[in-house]
Structure 1
Amino acid sequence: MQQELETLLTAAFKSERAQARRLAAREGIADDTALQRILEQAAGTLGLAALLATRLQAHAAEAQRKAQKISDRQQAQAARRVQAVPASAWRGWFDGSAHPNPGKLGIGALLLGPHGERIEVSQAAGHGNSSEAEYAALTAVLQAALGVRPPQLLLYGDSQVVINDVLGTTPVGARGLETQRATVVALLEQFNDVTLRWIPRHRNGEADRLSQLAIAGWVEEEAIPPLAD
């Protein structure tokens, strides 16, 4: 009975719970009986069971949305607590796009040096899916970094699939990306001090912009009709 009452209370709106309390006091009936009658009236031809299922589903979705919001806020706070970047370190951001997914790939990457150095990558990368695009972008930024041989390199990307795959934080590697992972691992081994970190997508704007420019350039190039013989 207690569980049934809790189900009714969870599904009921605040105004309906207030109506049920007034009804119970007025007619001298149990709280759960009064609330059930109020909800049956609200359900109408829909039926109480259907009403409860709909509202409980909406309640669960709202709870999940709030939990995700809290998680996002905690991740943002954790990112802000990251230790200050050493003065000699280079920083890099990478992003890959597929248009559609799978489809044409565009990659973007940005490297910033401690003395104002700036290296951008924006290019087409063949065809594939979004994870292949992300791996291609990570490969490109590592290759660009090899040209400057930074004493310390911090790399940021918004693909949890690729970053987790490279770092080996999942029991099983990402299927179909074994070759890309091996290439990236081999590149990482050529640096003395390199760190790979995940960041939310909204903090990866420059790399995303460069990848989208690559996609746009590819589309525009294909749209140009060939010259007549």
Structure 2
Amino acid sequence: MPVAPATADTWRLWIDGTAAPNPGRIGLGVVLESPDGQRHENAVRATEGCNNVAELQALLHGLSLALDAGARAIAIYSDSDFVVRHVGGDGHTDVAPLEALVRRARTAMAAFAVATLHWIPRHRNGAADRLARQAIGLAPKPALRPVSRKRRR
């Protein structure tokens, strides 16, 4: 996967998937932002599976939406360490269904002239998380409270 800095024509994609229970019903959350700042939100109920399947399916769904919208350069943001490591080539799984989804995701990313995959902390992926939970009828998670940096004495 080519790694290059974001340019004026780079689309941005935030993805999240959830399974409830785990494994269970799967919800996918996708936020696609065009270079001019237009945001498209998508919540999809998918088949059953585990959280890692949900995260990979969210990536595949988001990449499909981006291609359909005409994106050629894309920066992808996920709070899933599994997705970032495995699709990025730093992880390995012997679970056949997961390996098949990882291969599909790599193939889908190769359709872009530039595709970068970035891990972000969960609190920076709130919109995609909200959509994934909404897709299977779950309420949004409560907002994280800021951590105080004051020293205790």
Query: Is TM-score (shorter-chain normalized) higher than 0.5?
Result: yes
Corresponding residue number in structure 2 for 1:12: none
Work out which of the residue numbers 176, 185, 189 in structure 1 matches 2:106. 185
- Normalising by structure 2, we get a TM-score of 0.81
3-state SS, counterpart of residue 216 of structure 1 = coil
State the Cα distance separating 1:86 from its structure 2 match.
2.7
State the Cα distance separating 1:117 from its structure 2 match.
2.1
Matched, 1:92 2:13: yes
3-state SS, counterpart of residue 136 of structure 2 = helix
CA 174–166 in structure 1, closer or farther in 2 if over 3 Å, else same: farther
3-state SS, counterpart of residue 59 of structure 2 = helix
Work out which of the residue numbers 23, 35, 40 in structure 2 matches 1:114. 35
- Normalising by structure 1, we get a TM-score of 0.55
Q: For 1:6-25, list aligned pairs within 5 A.
A: none
Structure number having the greater strand percentage: 2
Moved segments of 4+, more than 4 Å: none
Work out which of the residue numbers 74, 92, 98 in structure 2 matches 1:153. 74
State the Cα distance separating 1:148 from its structure 2 match.
2.0
Matched, 1:197 2:123: no
Gaps of 5+ in 1: 1-82, 218-229
Letter in 1 for 2:119: W
State the Cα distance separating 1:120 from its structure 2 match.
1.7
**Aligned-pair identity (%):** 39
Structure number having the greater helix percentage: 1
State the Cα distance separating 1:96 from its structure 2 match.
0.2
Q: For 1:12-161, list aligned pairs within 5 A.
A: 85-161=6-82
Letter in 2 for 1:175: V
CA 204–174 in structure 1, closer or farther in 2 if over 3 Å, else same: farther
Question: In 2, Cα distance between the equivalents of 1:174 and 1:208?
Answer: 27
3-state SS, counterpart of residue 155 of structure 1 = strand
